[in-house]
Structure 1
């Protein structure tokens, strides 16, 4: 067995009174660490073969009771190891994490404390988008909970249903609740994996997260052309927003954050090459004539290391993330003004360019496999979501093709 626990005497740490501490020696993944028992006896009274205190020791009222207590502690530790092994959590733990779990060092960790630890780790790893989503969910749950502390065991099925009811009473959406619940579930899963809470308390065995299809986001080529034909001078507040939308559409629906991080050096031999911020997946996109006609404005007098678009203005990575968030809010606000100018009934957002690109290519009979690759999807099922939003008259036209 890779993991074992044995009772031993640590003669290396002999105390001034001549006594040596009795310890549990934990072995895991070929490493060893000690766990204190709180007891110590003179080394001559330790039976190394039987792993117990000799009966001749008179430093306690009952040697038998002390040995029984040590054996019970050992059994409890062994049970803890077996439980982690049964939950498939043991293998992934470091020996220090395992010790903390077995000695209940993590027992006092509460849900909000643990969630904040995860947020701190995400920010340290520069995963600011994920950290932001976790902060949002934690904030909503803290507001509902009204107490500073929340134990994992308190998050029961009934607790989640009350949180759900409170969310809907405020007029909030199903998908907003879905985002919160997925985050809560992710935090709980991580805590189970690390042995902080038992899987027996897991509330999502019974509670099912709800979601509903989002409203159709795509707009037609005709409406895209209205945006393209909009006459705007470079000092117009809507100038950059219009260009961002068109560039996203012409670059296979590139996300706003990926567009923000594009540098002049990303353009190589007439192609834009970059890795997506969210997945690190590489992209290689052709620069078309229509696209370069917009990009030329931004490329003038810039070096290879300069960002193409005036979105990121600071040097620190965390500051850059906030630059992107702030500019996206302003971008979406200005897209609503552009929709009014272009007489577009649909609600324009930064996501509409991606959905419009996908939908318009589907309408032009581009194979779904090709579209999936252009969108950077790893599964066709993800691409099929766009097909669900096709206009009804297009589906009618497809049905008419069945006629013989």
Structure 2
């Protein structure tokens, strides 16, 4: 191992009372730093050979106890070094990073404080969606815990089971619980990676996150056409909401946030080029004959820096995200009105356009690998989630193709 730890007396930093600090000298990758113990003794009472305080020192009530404390501290630090080496992380750490990990006591780390630090970092990085999800977990755990203090070692399988009961007793869904638990797990994993908490305390080796199948979200082409043909007064909120839904469907199921951020400048040579907010993955989509008149409704009099759709109202990025969040709430509410007007029984939401696009292309025998690329998925397993619950009548039609 290229890492060592030695108990020593730092005689270069003699205090006014003639004592010197007892330190651990940490060496890593041929560099050295000091880790304070909090104890100071005069040089004449330090046994350099045995690396301990001499027994005739009278500055403490028990020299034996002091030496035992120093020995235990060294054992704890070496355990930390050995754990990092076993995990394959020690070699890649700088001396500063190693010291930071070793000197952060798990018992003093607050889960809520750490979560707030992550939220602040996400806000600085303009990852507002992630920050909002973490803030929801922060708030719900703060309410559940009835205190600002929540240490990592308190988050045990018993604690998670109690939180699960608390969540479900309030009438909340299993999938809502799943979102919270996945976020808690992600925060815990980040803390392990940063060395703030020991891996052997990890509660998710025992606690299994529950989920249940979501209701089918896709609607048929015939119902999509009903929405398209619905006569609505130009410029009204329902008119815009209908157009957003159809535009999303025709733009390969573009998400509401990505659609809100589309600018006139994203239109180049009859195509729309943009990067998805969630993944930064680039998209290049043809403007079809059905999509073109919808876009034309909103393009008149605008320059390339203007947003295509009237969703974002303000100029600062954080405020723009708030505009989109508020607009999405109203959009989903108006989609329910549109569903009623079109005699559509399914629950119409902003997600339905994406799922309907995927399902209807599968029914047109579009290969799943092509559909996966259109949806922007990195693997086919994600795409299969969209098609695993095809409507029953479609499965019946497939069965009827069987011939003898």
The two structures have a TM-score, normalised by structure 1, of 0.90
Aligned to 1:173: 173
Matches within 5 A, 1:128-277: 128-277=128-277
Q: Residues 241 and 335 of structure 1 are in contact (CA less than 8 Å); yes or no, is this contact kept in structure 2?
A: yes
Aligned to 1:103: 103
Q: Deviations over 1:102-146 (max 9, x none)?
A: 334553222222222221221121111111112222323333333
- In 2, the alpha carbon distance for the partners of 1:117 and 1:108 equals 15
1:372 aligns with 2:365: no
Post-superposition shift, 1:338? 0.9
Matches within 5 A, 1:79-98: 79-88=79-88, 90=90, 95-98=95-98
Aligned to 2:353: 353
Aligned to 2:289: 289
After superposition, the Cα gap between the structure-2 partners of 1:90 and 1:122, relative to the gap in structure 1 and judged at 3 Å, is: farther
Other structure's SS at 2:232 match: coil
After superposition, the Cα gap between the structure-2 partners of 1:73 and 1:371, relative to the gap in structure 1 and judged at 3 Å, is: same
- In 1, the alpha carbon distance for the partners of 2:244 and 2:318 equals 22
Post-superposition shift, 1:295? 0.7
Other structure's SS at 2:210 match: coil
Gaps in structure 2 of 5+ consecutive residues? none
Aligned to 1:337: 337
Q: Deviations over 1:40-89 (max 9, x none)?
A: 456688777x4736969967689888666544433332122213333455
* Cα RMSD (Å): 2.8
More displaced stretch, 69-78 vs 315-324: 69-78
Q: Residues 53 and 63 of structure 1 are in contact (CA less than 8 Å); yes or no, is this contact kept in structure 2?
A: no
Q: Deviations over 1:320-361 (max 9, x none)?
A: 111110010011111111111111111111001101100110
Q: Residues 262 and 309 of structure 1 are in contact (CA less than 8 Å); yes or no, is this contact kept in structure 2?
A: yes
Other structure's SS at 1:273 match: strand
- In 2, the alpha carbon distance for the partners of 1:257 and 1:31 equals 49
Q: Residues 46 and 54 of structure 2 are in contact (CA less than 8 Å); yes or no, is this contact kept in structure 1?
A: no
Post-superposition shift, 1:319? 1.1
After superposition, the Cα gap between the structure-2 partners of 1:153 and 1:173, relative to the gap in structure 1 and judged at 3 Å, is: same
Post-superposition shift, 1:304? 1.6
Q: Residues 93 and 194 of structure 1 are in contact (CA less than 8 Å); yes or no, is this contact kept in structure 2?
A: no
Aligned to 1:77: 77
Other structure's SS at 2:107 match: coil
After superposition, the Cα gap between the structure-2 partners of 1:352 and 1:29, relative to the gap in structure 1 and judged at 3 Å, is: farther
Q: Residues 110 and 151 of structure 2 are in contact (CA less than 8 Å); yes or no, is this contact kept in structure 1?
A: yes
Q: Residues 263 and 304 of structure 2 are in contact (CA less than 8 Å); yes or no, is this contact kept in structure 1?
A: yes
Gaps in structure 1 of 5+ consecutive residues? none
Q: How many residues align?
A: 403
- In 2, the alpha carbon distance for the partners of 1:6 and 1:234 equals 78
Q: Residues 106 and 152 of structure 2 are in contact (CA less than 8 Å); yes or no, is this contact kept in structure 1?
A: no
